[in-house]
Structure 1
Amino acid sequence: KDEISFGDNTLTLGVRSEQISTQLTDYKDTDKNSKSSESVLLPGVGIYSQLMPEAGVLAGVHQGYSATPPGQDGDVESEKSLNFELGVRFDFNGFNLGQGEIIAFLNDYSQLTGSCTANTGCNNSDLDSQVNAGEAQVMGVEAAWKLTREFSGYAFPVALTYTFTQAEFGKEFEDTKGAFGDAGQVIFVGDELAYVPQHRLNAQLGIERSAWKANLSALYQSKMRDTPGQGSIADNEIIDAYMVLDLSTSYQALPTLQVYGTVDNLLGNDYVVASMPYGYRPGKPRSANLGVKYKF
């Protein structure tokens, strides 16, 4: 990795080399025993330009890669992608307007892979196997903003983060093992990936004074589909939108000692996070924790 600065611009060049060796030993079924090795080079480049004291633009291109686990069928390929980002960062704290960033991204998969696990509901005979889906695109926008205001000895930090995501398959294929949806389902070009909500918004409001801190966090997640498809989501394939409030507080009793407490799902909302495997899975119920942190 190297950084090159010229004027108000910073160019970052990098390359990662991976030497991967895997081995599977199955004492019950020796036909599954296998060894493999591969070598990959993953380049990346990024640039940041400070257009003005309060704002700058950034761009980057990076190679993505995920190696194939041992014991896979001979036609299973490793996951490969080319990842792009373009955005702007701003710092308007001098005008009491906070700081943040807005970044558009595209993950262009030439080979998307999925894995059969107990969580996806695959047959026991297919567990730990990997499936290729071919081309896919995951694109969207991430935005973040934070601001801290002070009044009468209190500090009030505020933060917002938002992500819009659109994820689609770019190749028609049959999901024979159910790694992406239902086993045997034919997935078409333009079908949306399951369990990828389009909208996620997190808002945080805090209050701080001396050694005390408290923070209220709200998370909103839009509806999503539980199996690949396109168009309106059928009633039996939808995971409804939900919102959850969390509360946390802490007291710094000593430089090395902190007392803290948290309440997750403050309002005790009932909501569903998944329908796999084998039926709906509820979100975390209201739960409270009280603890102590000590630095030695």
Structure 2
Amino acid sequence: MNHSNTRFRVAPLALALSATLSSTTFLTNAQAADPAAIIDAQSSVIEEVFIFADADEVRALPGSAALVSEEQFRIEFANDINQLLKTVPGTYIREEDGYGLRPNIGIRGATSERSSKITLMEDGVMIAPAPYSNPAAYYFPTAMRMHSAEVLKGAPLLRYGPQTTGGVINMVSTPIPDSVTGNLDLRVGQNGEQDLLANFGGRYGDFGYLVETAQRRSDGFKEIDRGNDSGYDIEDYLVKLSWTGERQSLLFKAQYSNEISDETYLGLTDADFANNEDRRYGLSSIDEMNNYHAGMNLRYGLQLGDDLALSVTAYQNNFSRDWFKLSGGNSFVRAANAGDLGAQAILDGEADVFGLGYKHNNRDYESRGVELNLDHSLGDHSLSYGIRLHEDEMDRYQPIDVYDQIDGELLLSGRIEPVGGDNRLEDAEAMSLWLIDSWQLSSALNLNLALRYEDVDSSRRQFSDPDRETDPSRRSNSSQEWLPGASFTYDLSDEWQALAGVHRGFSPLGGGAQEFEEPETSVNWEAGIRYRGSWFLEAIAFYSDFDNKTENCSNANPCSNGATAGAFTTGQAVIQGLELQASTVLNFGNINAPVDLAYTYTDAVISRDNPEEGFSDGDTLAAVPENTLSLRLGLETAMNWDSYAVIKYIDETCVTIGCNTDSNPFNRTEDLLVTDLISRYALTDDAVVFVKFENVFDERSIVSRQPEGARPNKPRTASVGLQYQF
């Protein structure tokens, strides 16, 4: 049953054109440390936008970073970005639906509420629905069509805003191949899971092309009382066209996707979770998400001289969604958790209830902008100057359908037209400037200096009548922030390297901010050491000091004060910790055994009493686990048969601030240890078959209590697949 009331518009092509200089616009600090790097980069045709090109560059940056490589995507047949990013130190994942459809990703000082506190990009273009006015990532690129994922932390992230506290994630899509070739990846598994990725592309002289589609479906692993499947259907299409001249390049990219998923905000009581983690109440049987995304960009670049490159980028993204779902179900879950038998009977469908509101959470988003960058090699300095002009907006129009539950059936009884918070427009305009200087002071010392400026104006118009004929109530906010940063690497020897950095963090408040509210700001430090020999070892300590830590409030992520809209300022806070990495490839005759270990310890607390909100110094912040760990192990043989294990652990977390000071079990999640196994056999050089067991030991935990009740991780799931190149 499709309850979509979405108004979807595709902007004119002229607004969607973007131009940039292949991938050389986004030269890494490691490349920029070499005055000849810009010249070398221009001589090759690399049309995707990379922050860094490979793992070796990651391990030389004057700041912490991680690369989820094409190899890891391919080996693990990744279709859930949550599971991939759990292997990256300093990231915090709060699962929600078990499939990673709407990730909640945090990085260091940036907490995980709907990934709204980190900068999300695809091929260097901001990809959140409305990055300034409404950054909550209800859209996230389909993970299985990605070539790699880049995570950047520390001072170098000031090149990529607006969120500059915790980190940047750049999803890199499939590149145009150098020769005519195609790929076909197939997977089928339990619960009706079916994944298909197909692409074909190549080059003819100066021209290149790629066409690609990702198709996903599942019946879901949850069992709805008296209801239907709990799965999803996703279609994703991509086209790239390129032209490369003697000193110029063009790359056009167009993407479209749609999703229908039977997802809900309604979770379970703890008693029902203990009895059957995969149960869903019949009250949620008609809940359904419909969304559509379309984006286009054209990248153009001009090599002005041997040491000077100009790029311009323009982009447009449109996203529309209607998440039709029960509103206020948490009141029944909380009451039943407290022992209310009447509330439990309603959840079980055994008691009649009238006036249930099912809201069309219907919103249209649009974002567009133009970015100019100049890369200049000047002696020992590699400079990058840039400016971006950006606009985004959100149109929220959310009617409520009223149902009665009678004898366990849901019967439509009326409709409430949207007014107030369900009928509003929000928008933001922003200008960003940046200046980056990578200065090679000596053969051992590289100094990276960064300065970013953000000028953001946001506003909201909220209507008291459905037709928007009366004057709306208005609010607005304006903020201007200078964000300096500095970092360095120093080679202690051929194998040992020290690094450190400091930068100012910033998180815009969004379109609902009022004039007197201040954006979240912080001072972020990191320092560490690396060893690059037969092993790669890295230990980095980080410390983020917040003047005014904020939470972004939504129905998906209620703030610690219970608010579901706007922002909630929790006051001064400190998030500090330690990230450890170790990796190598062990050799046992004809067997190679790759090993990758990542561990993060985090202490995230209120650092000053806040009597107005009832917080005290030492209260633990929400959604930040104390310990996370991942271990990736492999056995690669000469017989074309390779096997891998991926082990991931995440600690329990607070649901609201201060759960460390009480014994209420409903204020925290549970820890979780999951092991995935993958075994691959190469039939030929071009064809590989595989079998994959996710959560092989079927470990189940309450991984989230948001939005409305206890929610499980994915159960043990077996699948088989084929990867074929032609």
* TM-score interval (norm. to shorter): 0.7 to 0.9
Report the residue type matching 1:3 in the other structure: S
Question: Which one of 119, 137, 156 corresponds to residue 556 of structure 2?
Answer: 119
Find the aligned partners of 1:75 and 1:259 in 2 and give their Cα distance.
59
Find the aligned partners of 1:241 and 1:33 in 2 and give their Cα distance.
44
Find the aligned partners of 2:437 and 2:506 in 1 and give their Cα distance.
21
Range with bigger deviation, 137-146 or 228-237:
228-237
Structure 1 residue aligned with 2:83: none
Question: Which one of 695, 708, 714 corresponds to residue 278 of structure 1?
Answer: 708
Residue 439 of structure 2 is aligned to residue 4 of structure 1: yes
- Residues 30-80 of structure 1 deviation map (CA, whole Å, 9 limit, x = unaligned): 544445544333221101111112211110001110111112233321110
- Residues 123-180 of structure 1 deviation map (CA, whole Å, 9 limit, x = unaligned): 9x943310111210000000000110122322100111111000011233368xxxxx
Q: Give the SS at the match of 1:14.
A: strand
> Larger Rg: 1 or 2?
2
Question: Which one of 456, 464, 483 corresponds to residue 42 of structure 1?
Answer: 483
- Residues 218-264 of structure 1 deviation map (CA, whole Å, 9 limit, x = unaligned): 11223333332275651523433221111234456677766555332
Structure 1 residue aligned with 2:594: 157
Report the residue type matching 2:608 in the other structure: K
Q: Give the SS at the match of 2:492.
A: strand
Residue 131 of structure 2 is aligned to residue 131 of structure 1: no
Residue 646 of structure 2 is aligned to residue 217 of structure 1: yes
Kindly tell me: are residues 32 and 106 of structure 1, through their superposed partners in 2, closer, same or farther at Cα, counting changes over 3 Å?
A: farther
Higher helix share: 2
Kindly tell me: are residues 249 and 41 of structure 1, through their superposed partners in 2, closer, same or farther at Cα, counting changes over 3 Å?
A: farther
Task: Number of aligned residue pairs: give it.
Answer: 282
Report the residue type matching 2:500 in the other structure: A
Are the aligned partners of 1:133 and 1:171 in contact in 2 as well (CA < 8 Å)? Answer: no
Find the aligned partners of 1:200 and 1:165 in 2 and give their Cα distance.
9
Range with bigger deviation, 254-263 or 46-55:
254-263
* 1:64-213 equivalences in 2 (<5 Å): 64-93=505-534, 98-121=535-558, 126-173=563-610, 186-209=614-637, 212-213=641-642
Structure 2 residue aligned with 1:182: none
Higher strand share: 1
Find the aligned partners of 1:218 and 1:276 in 2 and give their Cα distance.
25
- Residues 89-115 of structure 1 deviation map (CA, whole Å, 9 limit, x = unaligned): 01231xxxx111000000111111112
Are the aligned partners of 1:33 and 1:71 in contact in 2 as well (CA < 8 Å)? Answer: no
Report the residue type matching 1:263 in the other structure: F
Structure 2 residue aligned with 1:179: none
- How far residue 21 of structure 1 moved from its aligned partner, in angstroms, is 3.7
Are the aligned partners of 2:702 and 2:712 in contact in 1 as well (CA < 8 Å)? Answer: yes
Structure 1 residue aligned with 2:657: 228
Report the residue type matching 1:152 in the other structure: G
Question: Which one of 647, 671, 695 corresponds to residue 241 of structure 1?
Answer: 671
Report the residue type matching 1:8 in the other structure: A
Report the residue type matching 1:224 in the other structure: T
Q: Give the SS at the match of 1:80.
A: strand
Residue identity over aligned pairs, in percent, reads 28
Q: TM-score when scaled to structure 2?
A: 0.36
Question: Which one of 445, 454, 458 corresponds to residue 18 of structure 1?
Answer: 454
Q: TM-score when scaled to structure 1?
A: 0.83
Find the aligned partners of 1:253 and 1:20 in 2 and give their Cα distance.
55
CA RMSD of aligned residues (A): 2.8
Report the residue type matching 1:45 in the other structure: A
Kindly tell me: are residues 233 and 198 of structure 1, through their superposed partners in 2, closer, same or farther at Cα, counting changes over 3 Å?
A: farther
